[in-house]
Each structure stands twice: as structure tokens, then as C-alpha cells.
Structure 1
Amino acid sequence: MECLLGLLKVRVVRGLNLAICDPLTHSSDPYVVLRHGSQKVKSSIRYHSINPEWNEELTLSITNMMLPVKIEVFDKDTFTKDDSMGDAEFGILDFIEIAKQELSHIGDGAVMKTIHPEEENCFATESQITWKDGKVSQDIVLKLRNTETGEIILHLQWVNIPGVAR
């Protein structure tokens, strides 16, 4: 049995300039799927939008901080298989290592680490891991792969589990 490290709350904020999968309406019906290991969580569908706003919180139980979180965006179809609108992934190692530290002495709003877009990650802009309101959080903009266009904006927050060692 794997040891639970904590919970990763992922707020799927919005999509930007997603692919048009329904040419007749010049839109799509997107939803987001997050995967970590064998876990899979899914957002609701936003109909007729290529710039959807979800502001939905999805939670992943983290047992292996070496595994990335994988994201897929799909266009919901009624009579055929849902269309892929792109994918991305991001590592959580730095985020969790910071979250596991004793940070009560750190000033509110402190930037703990800045992650820059690189060839090996899907970050569209630099992203800061911060300590705010007693929580470790991170805002991320990911550029979707395997598609012509699109970005996904996420907000991460770590939740320690009482009784689980830091």
C-alpha cells in the first residue's frame, strides 16, 4: 500500500483560445481530465466555448511526488468519441518539497521558488510557488501540446493530512 503524502487541490480556472472542434458553431464543448498515477478526475463540460471558465476544484491524493500530473482537454460529442483538444503535464516535486517544510516563520506572500518555461515542461509563463494565508500555492499557465492552440490556467494548493509526517 502506498503512503499518502497529502492532497493536491487543483482549481481548473479557465481555458484560453482552445481549438475549435465544432466547425458549424465555431466553438467546442470542452472539459478537463486530470490524472495522477491511477487516479482520474474530471471537470464539468462548458458548452459552446473556446475560452471556458470552470473555476472548479478537483482533488488528487498524492502518494508519489515523482509522478507528474497529466492534463487532457476534450470536446464532448454526443454521437461519436470525444475529440482530444490537447494535453499537458507538470511536475509536482518542487511544489510538494516546499509544502512539506515548516513554513510558519515565513512572511505572508513570500515567493518560495520560481519555475520558468523550458523545453521539458509545458509552462507558458513563469510560475511562482508562494506561501500565502498559511498555505503553499501556485498559479500555472500550461500550453497544450498535440494541438494547434490553447492554454489551461490552474491554481494549485497543498493540503497536509493530519497525522502524516512532513
Structure 2
Amino acid sequence: MDNPPGALRIRIKKGVGLAVRDVKTSDPYVVIKMGNQKLKTRIVEKNVNPEWNEEFILSIQDPDLPVKLTVYDHDKFSKDDNMGDAEVDIKPFLEALKMKRKNLPNGTILKTIQPARSNFLVEQSHITWKRDKVIQDMCLRLQKVECGEVEIELSWINPPGASST
């Protein structure tokens, strides 16, 4: 699969029903990894339903590599606690980027991904043509933890002067 020119924008929206790792709550943050790239959200103190709404840019060197998300509870005096993880396969998103989009109405669904044990999705995820961009919203179930979900959005950034069709 040829890499389209551009970069992947990932917006970490919020956590839902995250695990309690302190006395009654947690101080969560998300670490995003893809290949040798590693990014981190801010810490939201005392909240198991945090809203980050933070955007990060990942360059795609290998489309076979998943985007890995790990949620941690920040601790001041000990090692941060793991609160679960999830992975995003970006190949369906990259395939949707290759579709002809000229003259498509806003809100057109380009592809739908059904939840499966292998993809961490809580519910079906749509790759949509919105506001002249390919966008994928998804809610991911965290693994290796008793509860918790993370809502994210993927979009594509074209290099300056590139066509979005």
C-alpha cells in the first residue's frame, strides 16, 4: 500500500468510565505510540471521565503499524498505574483516503467498520467525508483493565498545495 502524502491527526477526545486507581478516582493521561513516535496528553486530575480534546500529529512511515493508546494514572510518589490500552488499525482509514471524493456531499459515509474482538471498537465506526476532510470517529474499549473507554477522532492533513480529492 502506497502511503498517501500527508500526516495523521489524532484527537484524543475523552475517557469514559475509566478505572479507579487512587482512593476514589484517578489522574489519567494518554500515551500515544506509533513506531518510534511517542506523544502524551495532559494529566486530568481526579476524574474517571476526563475530557482532553487534544490533537496530535503522527507521520505515517509504515501503514501496517497500529496507533497504540495507553491510559495511565499519574502518581506523585510511585510509578504511574496502567489503566488499560487499545490499538487502532489505520489501514481502513488510509484506504478511504484513496477514494474519489470530488463532489461528495458533507457527511457521506465512505466506510463502516464493525466492532470485533480484534479491533477494540465499542460500536461501529464510520469513516466520513466531513468539512472537506476524511474523518473517523471511534470509541475504543480499553484492554487489560476492568473498565474504561477512550473516544478519539482521526483525520488527515494534506501537505500544503495538495488536492483533497
Q: Which ranges of structure 2 fall in alignment gaps of 5 or more residues?
A: none
Listed as ranges, the matches of 1:52-67 within 5 Å are 52-67=50-65
Aligned length: 162
Sequence identity percentage = 45
Which residue in the other structure is 2:111 paired with? 113
Distance 1:10 1:109 in 2: 19
What amino acid is aligned across from residue 81 of structure 2 in structure 1?
Answer: D
Conserved? CA contact 1:4–1:63, under 8 Å: no
- Residue by residue over 1:36-83, the C-alpha shift from the partner in whole angstroms, topping out at 9 and shown as x without a partner, is 111011000000000001111111111211111100000001111110
2:123 to 111, 125, 138: 125
Aligned-pair CA distance for 1:163: 7.1
DSSP-derived class of the 2:59 partner: strand
What amino acid is aligned across from residue 117 of structure 1 in structure 2?
Answer: P
Conserved? CA contact 1:86–1:146, under 8 Å: yes
Distance 1:121 1:76 in 2: 27
Assess, with a 3 A threshold, how the Cα gap between structure 1 residues 62 and 91 changes in structure 2: closer, same or farther. Answer: same
Which residue in the other structure is 1:78 paired with? 76
Conserved? CA contact 1:31–1:44, under 8 Å: yes
Distance 2:54 2:108 in 1: 25
Aligned-pair CA distance for 1:101: 3.3
The alignment's TM-score, normalised by the length of structure 1, stands at 0.91
- Residue by residue over 1:100-156, the C-alpha shift from the partner in whole angstroms, topping out at 9 and shown as x without a partner, is 333123221100011011111100110000001110001100000000000000011
Which residue in the other structure is 1:10 paired with? 10
2:35 to 31, 34, 37: 37
Distance 1:148 1:117 in 2: 19
Decide which moves more: 99-108 or 135-144.
Answer: 99-108
Aligned-pair CA distance for 1:6: 2.0
Which residue in the other structure is 1:21 paired with? 21
Distance 2:99 2:136 in 1: 16
RMSD of aligned Cα (Å): 1.8
